[in-house]
């Protein structure tokens, strides 16, 4: 890990200082232990299994689902290229914020989504964390287009982090298994927090927003996209503001995301697509909804406007 950030790693639970041995990190204050595996360090606080079992069950479900996706992608032969797990963005006539246009052919819509949420935010020479980083596509694109000083990818699914660690050649980037609600970094460690299509899975959204506020430096920016029910938009803005963050942009980009879902449909249902390589125990309906295929519940709700894809920029003043 980039040295100056390594020094800012703390206990996920009590935020105490850590002591390191060859195989583990241990909190000097609460004694929580974190394991150093072959391809990753796991900063998951296992006490949650006992303290908040229903929250943990949801998180364990995410870990299982994404491990299965990782497996399907490896089997399909396209795993090497499948570095994004989001819906993507296709321009329409609405207001655009990206300062740069993507030059990718493969994964273009996902890179465009990233460039849109970044907009005019200063990223160069900044410390950035991508929470729910998935398979690392956003970190690679941030490096390509903006050259941050350092980047951390945090994700709850070990299979995703193992993939990122094995694939990445960037000395500026490091990857950790960890939970968005218990971020293992000291207060004021980052200039930019990125979170793309991940927060819907967090049982306690308020806690996540408080963690984002805590790890941001003053003047730092939170770049955030999520699909929300219409009535959840106001609730989320309230929670973000209660956490101390000020909204500087809150845009409905559902029409852009729908267009991208239309474009993705063919690729994702083709011979090598995720829909044809999922584990037989996964219901087709769930897969279609997960990838928001035209005709699925999620896609139709977006079309009707009862579900909105929100793109937000917030600042810690
Ligand atoms: C839809 S994918 C998006 C991945 C990535 N942001 C992208 O744009 O490609 C959601 C990701 O959130 C991760 N995730 C879910 N719950 C999490 C949690 N509590 N903490 C950290 N990551 C989580 C999942 O493992 C998954 O990789």
Instruction: Express each pLDDT in 43-57 by its tens digit.
Output: 999 899 999 999 999
Q: Which of 45, 84, 109, 134 has most ligand 1 atoms within 8 Å of CB, for mutation?
A: 134
CB of 48 closer than 6 angstroms to any ligand 1 atom? no
DSSP-assigned states of every residue in 41-75: EE---TTHHHHSHHHHHHHHHHHHHHHHHHHHHHH
3-state DSSP assignment of residue 312: strand
Q: Quick check: is 114 in a domain?
A: yes
- Whether the predicted pLDDT of 270 surpasses 70: no
Lowest mean pLDDT across 70-79, 118-127, 139-148, 220-229:
70-79
| Predicted local confidence at residue 1, as pLDDT | 59
Is 311 inside any structural domain? Answer: yes
CA of 62 to the centre of ligand 1 (A): 8
Segment 157-162 mean pLDDT: 97
The 3-class SS string of 156-202 reads CCHHHHHHHHHHCCCCCEEEEECECCECCECCCCEEEEEEECCHHHC
Task: Report the CATH number that the domain containing residue 114 is assigned in CATH.
Answer: 3.40.50.150
Tally of domains within the chain: 1
pLDDT at position 277 over 80: no
279 within 8 A of 72, measured Cβ to Cβ: yes
In the structure, what pLDDT confidence band is assigned to residue 274 with cuts at 50, 70 and 90? Answer: low
**Residue 200 near residue 290 (C-beta atoms within 8 A):** no
**Is the residue at 19 inside a domain?**
no
Rounded to an integer, the average pLDDT of 168-193 is 97
Is 150 within the bounds of a domain? yes
14 within domain boundaries: no
8 Å CB contact between 192 and 127: yes
CA of 160 to the centre of ligand 1 (A): 9
Q: How far apart, in whole angstroms, are the C-alpha atoms of residue 82 and residue 76?
A: 10
111/271: higher pLDDT: 111
In a domain, 238, yes or no: yes
pLDDT in the model for residue 112 = 98
Pocket of ligand 1, candidates 55, 155, 208: which has the most ligand atoms within 8 Å of its Cβ, to mutate? Answer: 155
Direct distance between the N- and C-terminal alpha carbons of the chain, in angstroms, rounded to an integer? 28
Least confident interval from 126-130, 160-164, 290-294, 296-300: 290-294
Among 188, 202, 205, 189, smallest CA distance to 156 is for 202
Q: 145 lies in which domain range?
A: 55-315
Cβ(84) – ligand 1 distance below 6 Å: yes
Q: What is the pLDDT of residues 107-144, one digit of tens each?
A: 999 999 999 999 999 999 999 999 999 999 999 999 99
Listed in sequence order, the DSSP H helices in the chain are 3-6, 48-51, 53-76, 108-118, 137-146, 158-167, 205-215, 230-242, 254-269, 274-277, 284-290, 297-304
Least confidently predicted of 73-87, 118-132, 243-257: 73-87
Contact in structure between 225 and 311 (CB atoms under 8 Å): yes
- For 287, the 3-state DSSP assignment is helix
In the β-sheet with 18-20, what is the strand arrangement from edge to edge? 18-20, 24-27, 33-36, 41-42, 173-177, 150-155, 127-131, 190-196, 216-229, 307-315, 246-252
Closest residue to atom 10 of ligand 1, CA basis = 198
**Is ligand 1 within 6 A of the CB of residue 136?**
no
Structural domain includes residue 103: yes
Question: How far are the Cα atoms of 7, 139, 241, 312 from residue 128, in angstroms, in the given order?
Answer: 15, 9, 21, 17
Whether 20 maps to a domain, the answer reads no
């Amino acid at each position: 890990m980039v040295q100056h950030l390594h020094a800012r790693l703390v206990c996920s639970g009590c935020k105490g200082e850590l002591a390191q041995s060859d195989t583990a990190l241990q909190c000097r204050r609460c004694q929580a232990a974190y394991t150093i595996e072959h391809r990753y360090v796991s900063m998951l606080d296992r006490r949650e299994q006992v303290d908040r079992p229903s929250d943990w069950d949801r998180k364990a479900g995410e870990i299982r689902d994404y491990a299965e996706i990782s497996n399907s992608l490896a089997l399909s032969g396209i795993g090497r290229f499948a570095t994004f797990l989001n819906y993507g963005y296709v321009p329409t006539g609405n207001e655009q914020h990206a300062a740069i246009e993507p030059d990718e052919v493969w994964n273009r819509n996902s890179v465009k989504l990233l460039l849109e949420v970044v907009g005019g935010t200063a990223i160069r020479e900044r410390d950035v964390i991508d929470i729910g980083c998935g398979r690392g596509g956003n970190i690679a694109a941030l490096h390509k287009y903006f050259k941050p000083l350092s980047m951390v990818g945090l994700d709850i699914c070990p299979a995703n982090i193992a993939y990122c660690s094995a694939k990445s050649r960037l000395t500026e980037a490091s990857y950790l298994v960890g939970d968005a609600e218990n971020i293992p970094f000291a207060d004021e460690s980052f200039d930019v927090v990125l979170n793309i299509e991940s927060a819907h899975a967090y049982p306690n959204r308020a806690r996540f927003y408080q963690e984002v506020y805590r790890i941001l430096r003053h003047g730092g920016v939170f770049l955030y996209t999520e699909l929300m029910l219409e009535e959840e938009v106001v609730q989320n803005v309230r929670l973000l503001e209660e956490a101390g963050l000020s909204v500087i942009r809150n845009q409905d980009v559902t029409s852009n995301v729908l267009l991208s879902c239309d474009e993705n449909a063919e690729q994702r249902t083709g011979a090598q697509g995720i829909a044809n390589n999922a584990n037989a125990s996964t219901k087709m309906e769930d897969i279609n909804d997960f990838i928001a295929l035209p005709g699925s519940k999620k896609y139709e709700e977006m079309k009707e406007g009862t579900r909105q894809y929100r793109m937000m920029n917030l600042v810690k003043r």
